[in-house]
Amino acid sequence: MKLRHNARARDWFPAAPAFFPALRAVLRRRLLTTLLPAMLTGMLVAMLTGMLHPADALAAKAKGSAKKPQGVQQSASAQSASSAASRKQIPQAAELLDPSTEDLPGIRQRGQLRILVALNRTNFTMAPDGSFKGLEHDLALILERSLNTGLKKGAQKVRVVFVPVLRDDLLPALLDGRGDVAAAGLTITPERETHVAFTRPYFEDVREVLVTRSGAKPIRSLDDLAGRSVHVVASGSYAEHLEPVRQDLARRGLPPLEIVQADHVLETENLLEMLAADMVDCVAADEHIARLWLQVLPGLVIQPQAIAQGGRIAWAVRKNNPQLLDAANKALKDSARQQAMLFHKNFPSTQEDAKRLANPFLAPKTARLVPDFQKRSEEYGFDWLHMMAQGFQESGLDNSARSRTGAVGVMQVLPSTGASLGFRDIRPASENIHAGVRYMGKMRDEETPGDRLDPEQRFYFALAAYNAGPARIRKLREQARAEGLDPDVWFGNVERAAMRHGCQGAVIYVRNIRAYYIAYSLGWDIHARRVKAAKPKQIAPELLQGVDTAPASAAP
């Protein structure tokens, strides 16, 4: 891969042997259950309630709660002081979600350029000091400065605002007018070019590569993909480039290639984490992304055979916005020599934000929890892997975890909540899991009655209620209905109302648990198959927890 000024990927990753032992120590910290969730929640609060511009976010942080979003609990004095600001922000946040397909003149009149981004830790994230990070963020600010250069005194300036969406919604949101520019590392493909216009590329010569764990059978030619499974992000270019390979192998009678498109909540970095945790066997990735994450995920290798070469990565705009396209091209051209520096500048923060997803069924400490999750989930009618994923979100499956508010254990249950549910002591892991699952059952059965809800939706609403409180979620459903959204569907509907009305913590909570559930489902399947294939004495007893090791019954 190279940038416009021909800097190649190998120049971006200088060797730094002394750095990585320290990095590994950083990665051992419990970012998942402390800093990282707070960072992600803070980013969505800033981005989706009227504080989307980075300068505003930092100013608001410095000034305290003068711009606290509506719906966040405040003292009486704070509510009085900030009521005017709240009334002003919510229409602004709502305005961001209202469709508009106007070209640059309309954008200038509106004063906002909406940048559609996919939240991840590679291209667009947030640093501990509250500032935004990532190449897409920095390039968007360069575009903002370019648009405001040479304006007459008193002319309205254009401000960049960031609108996060799921990756598979980037282009639909752009075409629907929910954003003006899609900036998320999009590869230019013939199929995409039939729908949108692309700017000049800011990455060129991009190789799409295959990543495996070290020791895996090498992939030196496309024929080596016969009989293998490759995981790819949804709505990416990887599946498009692998499909001809799959068809060619089938035509020649070779073992089939399985292309597995991941759930739409997962990014390439999530798949690479799952690969490092031995949950999947092979992942397709852009080489520059793979090289970035190989420095923080040990035991992964890039295979010699690429699935595509010469790729170009650019922003996308609507085809009927030629003036915006010209302005974006000018900004990208003028910043060409800065782009390598911008990518490299953001690299350290990405490393610090990396978290380690592990297969809990391979570690004795967490494998011992499996029977309790299975027993209580069956008792209350839940998928036990869902409950275990929730436990990971709550505490990292660490029963010694204790929050600042006094919540304890794997499921982070308050002692008062445990007492109200009939538990005398929720400190033992088995009792803590029981209390957490029982409380989830209460949220589902009493607070989200299922007379008209799909069972899957009831579960998502129960998760949101577990995190934000049932009264808050009931109000959000009412607000979703008033805004023309479906009050009975969480993702893309009540979730949007939650983002608009200051309940971003629940949005992150539900999305994370869904992602962990997918990873745990894969991890459990792999673990169970390996246990059944091995002799019982070859597996440590604690790793047999919850696995049905009995031989299949003979057919009658």
3-state secondary structure string across 374-421:
HHHHHHHCCCHHHHHHHHHHHHCCCCCCECCCCCECCCCECHHHHHHC
Nearest to 309 by CA among 210, 375, 388: 210
Q: Name the residue among 309, 324, 323, 279 with its Cα closest to residue 297.
A: 279
CA distance 301 to 117: 28
The answer as to whether 458 is a domain residue is: yes
Structure token pair of residue 400:
């010694």
- Element containing residue 478 per DSSP (H, E): helix 470-482
Which one-letter amino acid corresponds to residue 223? D
Give the pairing of strands 283-286 and 112-117: unpaired
Q: Which two tokens stand for residue 4?
A: 């416009």
State residue 98's pLDDT score: 72
Contact 363, 135 (CB under 8 A): no
Q: Does residue 164 sit in helix, strand or coil? A: strand
Tell me, yes or no, whether 192 and 285 share the same domain: no
Average pLDDT, consecutive stretches of 10 residues, N- to C-terminus, the chain (556 residues): 42 38 42 42 41 39 34 31 30 58 95 88 62 81 94 90 83 95 94 96 93 95 96 91 97 96 86 88 94 87 95 96 97 69 49 57 84 95 95 93 94 96 96 97 81 86 94 93 90 83 84 87 76 53 51 38
Residue 550 lies in a domain: no
Kindly state whether residues 19 and 90 are assigned to the same domain: yes
Does residue 4 sit within a domain? Answer: no
Q: Does 554 map to a domain?
A: no
Specify whether the CB–CB gap between 509 and 462 falls below 8 A: no
Strands (E), 94-146: 112-117, 125-126, 132-133
Q: For position 234, what pLDDT does the model report?
A: 87
Together in a domain, 193 and 215: no
For residue 147, give its domain range: 9-202+314-353
- Is 527:547 a contact under the CB 8 Å cutoff? yes
Do residue 178 and residue 240 come from a single domain?
no
H-helix or E-strand spanning residue 38 = helix 35-48
Q: Which residues of 5-24 are buried (b: 16+ CB within 10 A; e: fewer)?
A: eebebeebeeeeeeeeeeee
- Residue 215, Cβ neighbours under 10 Å: how many? 8
Secondary structure element (H or E) that encloses residue 203, with its range: strand 203-213
In contact, 259 and 239? CB cutoff 8 Å = yes
Residues 213 and 96 in one domain: no
pLDDT at 61: 37
Distance separating alpha carbons of residues 57 and 46, to the nearest angstrom:
6
Cβ atoms 434, 423 nearer than 8 A: yes
Q: Judge contact between 301 and 215, C-beta under 8 A.
A: no
CATH number at residue 243: 3.40.190.10
Residue 272 CA to residue 198 CA, distance in Å, equals 28
In Å, the largest CA–CA distance within the chain is 88
How far is the C-alpha of 394 from the C-alpha of 402, rounded, in Å?
A: 10
Residue in the structure block whose two tokens are 């799921």: 166
pLDDT at position 258: 96
Q: Report the alpha-carbon distance of residue 242 to residue 286 in Å, rounded.
A: 13
* Residue 550, φ and ψ in degrees, nearest 5: -70, 140
pLDDT at 496: 80
551 in a structural domain: no
CA-based nearest residue to 532, from 545, 551, 513? 551
- The total domain count for the chain is 3
**Based on the domain organization, do 477 and 396 belong to the same domain?**
yes
Q: Do the domain assignments include residue 47? A: yes
Are 156 and 32 contained in the same domain? Answer: yes
Give a yes or no: residue 549 inside a domain: no
- Please report the pLDDT score of residue 450 as a whole number: 59
Provide the CATH number for the domain around residue 453: 1.10.530.10
On whether residue 3 sits in a domain, the answer given is no
Q: What is the pLDDT of residue 124?
A: 81
Positive or negative torsion for Cα 294, 316, 259, 309: negative
pTM of the model: 0.65
Distance (Å, whole) CA 241 – CA 313: 15
Q: Are residues 387 and 503 in the same domain?
A: yes
Residues 318, 277, single domain; the answer is no
Of 302, 335, 353, the position where a domain reaches its end is 353
Is residue 344 domain-shared with residue 371, that is, in the same domain?
A: no
Region of 502 (left: φ > 0; alpha: ψ -120 to 50; beta: rest) is left
Is residue 192 located within the same domain as residue 81? yes
Q: How far is residue 79's CA from residue 476's CA, in Å, rounded to a whole number?
A: 20
Residues 300 and 449 occupy one common structural domain: no
Separation between Cα atoms, residue 58 and residue 51, nearest integer Å: 9
Integer angstrom CA distances of residue 417 from 226, 248, 424, 436:
54, 59, 11, 9
**Residues annotated as catalytic (active site), given as ranges:** 394
